[in-house]
Amino acid sequence: MIRKTLAATLLAALAATQAEAVEYAQFQPERSNIAFTSKQMGVAVDGRFRKFAAALSFDPARPTAASARIDIDLGSIDAGSKDADDEVVGKQWFNIKAFPTASFVSTGVKALGGDRYEAIGKISIKGRTQDAVLPFTVKQDGQLATFDGNLTLKRLDFAIGEGPWADVSTVANEVQIKFRIVAARK
Amino acid sequence: MTPAARYTRTAIALHWLMALLLLGLFAVGLYMTGLKLSPQKLQIYSWHKWAGVSAFLLVLLRLGWRLGHRPPAPPATMPRWQQLAGEGAHHLLYLLMIVIPLSGWLMSSAKGFQTVWFGVLPLPDLLAKDKELGDLLATVHQGLSYGFAALVLAHTGAALKHHLVDRDDVLVRMLPFLKTR
């Protein structure tokens, strides 16, 4: 009798843990970062965004049901130097007075096998929206999941750098973006 | 022992090539720092850096040549203190021609802008990005350059004084086209 009850309790407990879906949804800004590398006169220059927010949900058992929205505060840019920081918030670059944030909104996630995935969605910067595919990997470590990925954007697709800056021989069109988003289990 | 009456053709060529290059580097350096950020500014900075690396390589070549070829001796009529001052100034000029490009390279590293010679050959970044160190090295680079410019003025003045007042060979033996008197 006692044995039966114990077994039943154990079974129930087991069922409960399985039913409780693992979901990584609590964005950890302190552990996350979004960096980018541009090329100026053929020389790589590193930069990053200090402030951004991510609203996401990722269940390893159902990765294709995952969703993410990332909003970047463009005014928090570190473009490599004070000169550049002052310049890129201006009209010819991000025009942050009119367009303070850049965003990525996912519409779907594809599993590529192993820990590799692709987030499909739309990137909006400076009032322009483009389809985008963000390849990323996921690493789970206890309470945390780390999403790492990178993509190359063409800045002129979003009119980032107009007028004399549209010359891609000085500042290359391609900008490499590297992101790490960390989320905790709910 | 009779020291050569003139500098070798190679020494003369290197001297004037570097004179032009360094004058250009100094003028461009003065001009570019005041520019508002623009594609042109990025281009000019790159050119300045490429030319600076070239000047550094040229001065090494020049030093190598100088070690293998004794320059003509100063005129015997020159007072001892002037001979010493001349020698000291020449050593200081060489030292600055080495240290100034090095300080520029280190400054670029510290400011987070790698130096890539003619956009092709990357020089290693010896320093990690560090804003304060970058600003300090910028001051050093600028200060040394002003010092170099002052020394070049003294050097030019001394050469003209030799030619016009002392009426000796000192200037002419470094000229490619005038015969020694």
Q: Percentage helix, strand, coil, to 5, in chain A?
A: 25, 50, 25
Q: Look up the pTM and report it.
A: 0.84
| Residue span of the structural domain in which B73 resides | 9-174
Q: Which two tokens stand for residue A90?
A: 């201006």
Residue B4 lies in a domain: no
Report ipTM for this prediction.
0.80
Domains in chain A: boundaries? 21-185
Cβ distance A164 to B42 less than 8 Å, yes or no, reads: no
Give the Å distances, CA to CA, from A101 to A54, A73, A119, A126, A178. 13, 5, 20, 8, 18
In this prediction, residue A130 has a pLDDT band, given cuts at 50, 70 and 90, of very high
Residue B1 lies in a domain: no
Cβ distance B112 to A41 less than 8 Å, yes or no, reads: no
Residue B136 lies in a domain: yes
Mean pLDDT across chain B: 93
Chain segment B92-114, per-residue pLDDT in tens: 999 999 999 999 999 999 999 99
What pLDDT score was predicted for residue A10? 57
Read off the DSSP letter of residue A88.
H
- Please give the average pLDDT of every successive group of 10 residues along chain B, which has 181 residues: 73 96 98 95 97 98 94 91 95 98 97 94 94 96 98 97 93 81 54
| Nearest-CA distance B140 → chain A (Å) | 19
Element (H, E) at A108: strand A101-113
What pLDDT score was predicted for residue A99? 98
Fold annotation for A21-185:
Lipocalin (2.40.128)
In this prediction, residue A1 has a pLDDT band, given cuts at 50, 70 and 90, of low
**Rounded distance, CA B179 to CA A86, Å?**
57
State how many domains chain B has: 1
Q: What is the mean pLDDT of residues A35-56?
A: 95
Cβ distance A42 to B116 less than 8 Å, yes or no, reads: yes
Residue B150 lies in a domain: yes
| Nearest-CA distance A39 → chain B (Å) | 10
**Rounded distance, CA A23 to CA A185, Å?**
6
Q: What is the mean pLDDT of residues A4-27?
A: 67
